[in-house]
Chains A and B, each alone.
Chain A
């Protein structure tokens, strides 16, 4: 089975610029997550989708971050404008959890390493 695909693999931008990340989850996985992982720390949830609806975006900095999953398959995470503290690895994950994201493990993509200079 194909894994979770993410692109680009690396991105370097200047502060105040915008950037977008793309994720294609495992086929048939209804639940999709975006996590931010700062160097040396555990992943932190930004947003969780169930099909194309948002389940949890309580930790998403909505003044600069946005995400969508229009057809319930692939998803895009955008940052505009970027700040230095946004430098991190952005991980996308999916699970086959039918509801609420419980009882199932997550499959993570390789992530996008973002450097803001």
Chain B
């Protein structure tokens, strides 16, 4: 079952913050976050396992709310290099193969 991402697109000026959400209607085992630049491969950012932990990677961090089956990606003090499409991928509890299902993506554009 495909997770739902919001917003679909966002435009930021350098230095501004953004939040991207990823929601599931099924119980989640984990959430992955990837960034894909135009014409390039998706690049792994971080993985969050159930337990409500928050992770950080430079000025990009994410949280996992197990009660709401939702994850949020936080980008602070955005840089031009943050531009790209962000995908969340979800793995579900009880799925033997732990298939990673991606959302439709959130296109982030950072302008000077």
Contacts and interface: CB of A to CB of B under 8 A. Distances in A.
Interface stretch (B11-19, B36-44, B76-84): B36-44
Contacts of A91: 41-42
A110 B41 CA distance: 5
A117 to B, nearest CB: 20
A104 B30 CA distance: 10
Interface string B24-68: 000001101010000011111011010000000000000000000
Interface in A45-83: 45, 48, 55-56, 58
Contacts of B42: 43, 91, 106, 108
A44 B89 CA distance: 10
Interface residues of A, number: 25
B71 interface: no
Contacts of B40: 110
Contacts of B110: none
Contacts of B97: 48, 55-56, 100-101
A105 B47 CA distance: 7
Nearest to B97: A56
A41 B87 CA distance: 10
A48 B43 CA distance: 19
B109 to A, nearest CB: 15
Contacts of B2: 42
Contacts of B102: 42-44
B106 to A, nearest CB: 10
B2 to A, nearest CB: 8
A107 interface: yes
A44 B49 CA distance: 21
A102 B98 CA distance: 6
Interface of B: 2, 29-30, 32, 34, 40-44, 46-47, 49, 87, 89, 91, 96-105
- 6 closest Cβ contacts across the A-B interface? A42-B102, A56-B97, A105-B44, A108-B41, A102-B98, A101-B98
